[in-house]
Structure 1
Amino acid sequence: MTQDDLYRTVVLQRTKTPLYAGKLAQANAQGQGTNPLCGDRVHLHAVIDAQGRIDAIRHETRGCAICAASADLMAERVTGQEPARIRQLHADMEAAVQTGNAPAALGELSAFAPLHRHRSRIRCAMLPWTALMEMLNDDKDR
């Protein structure tokens, strides 16, 4: 399976049947992101423990398939992770969509690497990450 095939498969699968969509009633942190150019919106709800680790996270995404799939895969990948690891994953994701080279640590998120050929869609894939990083920065300030 080529990287482009993986991209199509992963995006379609996670858009049709997201595993991390919805709200968390016990959330103690929230983040949101909006792309005014296309109307994509992401709202994150998370339970963050005293060490800053994400115990649980859900997303409410209104937008394109790329944004929705990225939010769902991001939520899966960061669950149980500490802030330093999440920041590294964010950097790896940013590099992957900018260059097309994805480190193995990204797992299924590497499916977004082909977006480097479609610059206008990079923001779609990165919007959930932007919301996540803002949420983590807000949590650090508490």
Structure 2
Amino acid sequence: MNGLDSLYQELILDHSKHPHGQGLSPEEGRTASSHQHNPMCGDDITLRVRVDDVGERIVDLSWEGSGCSISQASASMLAALIEEDGGEAGLPREAAVALIDGFREALRSRGAIPLDEETFADAAALSGVSKFSARVKCAMLAWVALEDALARA
């Protein structure tokens, strides 16, 4: 294992042990939730998103779940990314959709498209998952939940 792979593995383990955004926020204002289940391995994620009054910006994202370290780390990384990129004003819905689409494309590429660290921050550590098709759904679970919750919001 090279140094970058080792660093990425440590980052994934750190996010799974110390998850960001875990614990569902109360439903208030314009909120929507999505529950996603991976029947292949039993991973579960429930994600709640709150958008601004006009539905254009994500102002809060929280989640709870159980499963493998990849699914839990991915949810944590997604929550941190949404919070970081959105700042005080919240992340525009279009930006979140672009992140989801880019993440999906990279994970389905079987390693041909790495996740850019500038765009995906810690979630770039999940690039290697794309080489293991059985683990892609684990990493995608929270991202699919966000996509579904945004459709409902």
Instruction: Please say whether Structure 1 and Structure 2 have the same fold, judged by a TM-score greater than 0.5.
Output: yes
Structure 1 residue 25 displacement after superposition: 1.4
Q: Secondary structure at the match of 2:91?
A: coil
Match of 1:40 in 2: 43
Q: Which runs of 4+ in 1 moved over 2 A?
A: none
Unmatched tracts of structure 1, length 5 or more? none
- 1:46 offset after TM fit, Å? 2.2
2:148 maps to amino acid: E
Partner residue in 2 for 1:24? 25
| Alpha-carbon distance in 1 for matches of 2:61, 2:97 | 16
Q: Secondary structure at the match of 1:123?
A: helix
Correspondence for 2:86: none
TM-score when scaled to structure 1?
A: 0.90
**Of residues 132, 135, 141 in structure 1, which corresponds to 2:146?**
132
**Post-superposition CA distance 1:83-136 (Å, at most 9, x none):** 110111011111222233112311111111011211100000001111110111
1:87 is the counterpart of 2:97: yes
The counterpart of 1:115, out of the listed 121, 126, 129, is: 129
**SS, match of residue 96 in structure 2:** helix
| Paired position in structure 2 for 1:102 | 115
> Could you tell me the TM-score, scaled by structure 2's length?
0.84
Could you tell me how far apart the structure 2 residues matched to 1:73 and 1:96 are?
16
In structure 1, what residue type is equivalent to 2:132? H
- For each residue in 1:14-67, what CA deviation from the matched residue of structure 2 results, as whole angstroms up to 9, or x when unmatched? 111112100101442211111111111100122211233111111101111000
Q: Across the two proteins, how many residue pairs are aligned to each other?
A: 139
**Percentage identity across paired residues of the two chains:** 28
Q: Do 2:49 and 2:60's aligned partners in 1 also have CA atoms closer than 8 Å?
A: yes
For residues 37 and 5 of structure 1, do their structure 2 counterparts lie closer, same or farther at Cα, with a shift above 3 Å needed? same
3-state secondary structure, aligned to 2:36: strand
Q: In the aligned structure 2, how far is the partner of 1:136 from the partner of 1:25?
A: 17
Aligned partner of residue 13 in structure 1, secondary structure? helix
